[in-house]
Amino acid sequence: MRRPIAAMAFALALLPASQALAEATAIDIRKTNDCGCCHAWMEYLEEIDFAPADQKYSLSSS
């Protein structure tokens, strides 16, 4: 009787870890409007379970 209870307790203890692994990892990408590789990089990150957020910036000095 103790083994099924111990197995259930172990499985329940792992549940929060499995939910954390299921969530995408947030990552900030700083990109310019002139560069297409940033968009491709963000698509790749989404494919491997990241959640990229872009931060646009300009390279001009004005």
pLDDT in tens, 10-52: 776 766 655 555 678 888 888 877 777 888 888 999 999 899 8
- Give the global pTM: 0.52
Strands 25-31 and 50-56: parallel
CA nearest neighbour of 24 among 52, 4, 43, 2? 52
Choose between 59 and 1: higher pLDDT: 59
The contacts of residue 58 (CB under 8 Å, 6+ apart) are: 32
The percent helix, strand, coil of the chain (3-state, each to 5) is 50, 25, 25
> Cα–chain-centroid distance for residue 28?
10
